[in-house]
Amino acid sequence: MKSLREPIVVVLGHVDHGKTSLLDKMRGTVVAAREAGGITQQIGASLFPLDAVVETCRSLLGEVKVDLKVPGILFIDTPGHAAFANMRKRGGSVADLAILVVDVMKGIQEQTVESIRLLRSRKTPFVVALSKIDMLPGWRPVEGAPIKKALSSQSKAVVEELEKRVYLLAGELSQYGFQADLYTNIRNFATTLAIVPVSAKSGEGVPDLLMLILGLAQVYLRDRLTLRQDGCEGVVLEIVEEEGMGATINAVISNGTLRVGDKIAVLGKDGPFLTKVRALLMPKPLDEMRDPRDRFKTIDEAVASIGVKIVAEGLERAFPGSPIYRISEQEDVQDVFDKLMAEIGEFKLSTDKVGLIVKADSLGSLESIVAYLHERGLSVRLADIGEVSKRDVMEASIVKEKDEFLGVILAYNVDVPKNIEVEAANRGVRIFTNPVLFRLIEDYVEWVEKTKTEREKAEFERLVKPGKIRLLEGMVFRRSNPAIIGVEVIGGEITPRTSLMNAEGKIVGTIMQIQDMGKAVSVASAGMKVAISMKEPTVGRHIRENEYLYVAIPENDARLLSTVFFDRLDEQSKKILEEVLNINRRVNPMWAR
């Protein structure tokens, strides 16, 4: 019986930085080529046995002074960070170690930062795989070589360029509190974050990465990797309908042993439930759990760490991301149920009264979305797992009455039935869907910003803007009925149907028409000299040559212009607005406040 279990290693990083391609190179599969858009959207588990690691790293073994006792590596391939951020708030994450993949040409990106924050919050040790080094100009491929050997075949310019990019990445990582360096330069891996240059295309650095993971796990995580002899813990990765078997669970057993016939507790749509393991299936080592090239094989027991398919009754009710606990005869089932509910309770309950409705395919995705939204100061009314329902639409419509920008539904990787789409449309509730988590949030935020900007612009356009004119001397073309006189626009703008007032705040008339060089115009702005006509005043009695007149801004418009839209005004218009406010406040001190 093995005394140590395999370290569970999660692969994180920004979209398109080469996470799945790197694993493909190690396990010899082509999963990435078959995934829509090349982005991993379902969590996968792959067992990498020790003999396969030894074979891959044969050229390095002479340099590594570690007696390898760890039985292998279990990799979890995730879409960025979403499925990793799920479990056991009290016990940390299922992952023992992580590989943070960073594109050598692009450096740290948005999802990289989120992955770093997540790793730090989970206190998960990690190494950095600096990927796509084959993209460096002038790189000469050395298939599957350790990085030292690969670099020895490169020109001086290529080596210097790689060193420069390692240095730049180390500088970026220092901003997040990490001292980092090329792994071959590190003496103390407990204090310095290791950077391993790799190519998923030609395999350079892959042996280094595998040996580093095994070495770190064995040296620093020996106690954590001790295989427990009693009990069993795991996590549901996804629910998969299999022909002839019904709903099955793809799971990771993170410690202990699970056997056929064992009772397990899992969280379901209606709360925790018990079921009995009817069968355990697993793919061959180095194969991909969700896309096996060969059929699964039946096993009697699953010993951690392992990715396994569980066949049992009622698994269609299970939640992806739910912990799995084996129930012994001595254990109190209710205690285990309480433990399960405590792990995810806050994400099943309503939170803020006014907030977004969030639906997701798994607990990990749900937790990630809720955390993502809270970081941006956005409230969540309801967060739950499963397809969008009529209840969700009703909840969103209630919120919409108070805040239309929060009265929406964010649906990540879940179905939206046609009748629900119709119900939502009838109630004016928007449903945002996107199979990529961070893009879903971006779509929503962009919609809010765009809609608010458009409405602010439209509202600003409707307001009467500041304007100041001078009646030109010797340019009176008609004294009354209507008065026609030449004016100079000192600042701001004037338009037809705009009322004008004098320096005492008295309305003297409304502009009927504006003409420039004998042609009617819809607006006259600062610097223009035009003729205006007004029916009400008589020149010489109500208005006089060389007199200054102001656009008579309605009080509510003046209030909005002086607060919400003040920054949209040019400097001349701001000054004229202040003059208008002062004129009116001499009569009413509270005007437009």
Q: What integer pLDDT is reported at residue 9 of this predicted model?
A: 87
- Asked whether this chain's domains 232-338 and 467-587 adopt the same fold, the reply is yes
In the chain, where the domains are located = 8-220, 232-338, 349-461, 467-587
Phi, psi of 96 (to 5 degrees): -90, -35
Residues of the chain with pLDDT under 70: 1-2, 14-17, 27-44, 58-68, 77-93, 284-295, 343-352, 363-364
d(CA 349, CA 26): 42
pLDDT tens per residue, range 227-284: 888 888 888 877 878 788 888 888 888 889 999 999 999 988 778 899 999 999 877 6
pTM flag (> 0.75): no
Q: What integer pLDDT is reported at residue 37 of this predicted model?
A: 36
Cross-strand partners of 126: 98
What is the DSSP annotation of 495-542? -TT-EEE-TTS-EEEEEEEEEETTEEES-EETT-EEEEEESS--BTTT
- CATH number, span 8-220: 3.40.50.300
Q: What integer pLDDT is reported at residue 61 of this predicted model?
A: 57
Q: What integer pLDDT is reported at residue 10 of this predicted model?
A: 83
Q: What integer pLDDT is reported at residue 30 of this predicted model?
A: 33
- CATH number, span 232-338: 2.40.30.10
pLDDT tens per residue, range 327-370: 987 778 888 888 777 766 544 444 567 899 999 877 667 777 88
Tokens of 421: 């789409």
Look at the domain 349-461 and name its fold.
Answer: Rossmann fold (3.40.50)
**3-state class (DSSP) for residue 443:** helix
Look at the domain 467-587 and name its fold.
Answer: Elongation Factor Tu (Ef-tu); domain 3 (2.40.30)
d(CA 327, CA 332): 8
Q: Cite the DSSP H helix spans in 102-141.
A: 110-122
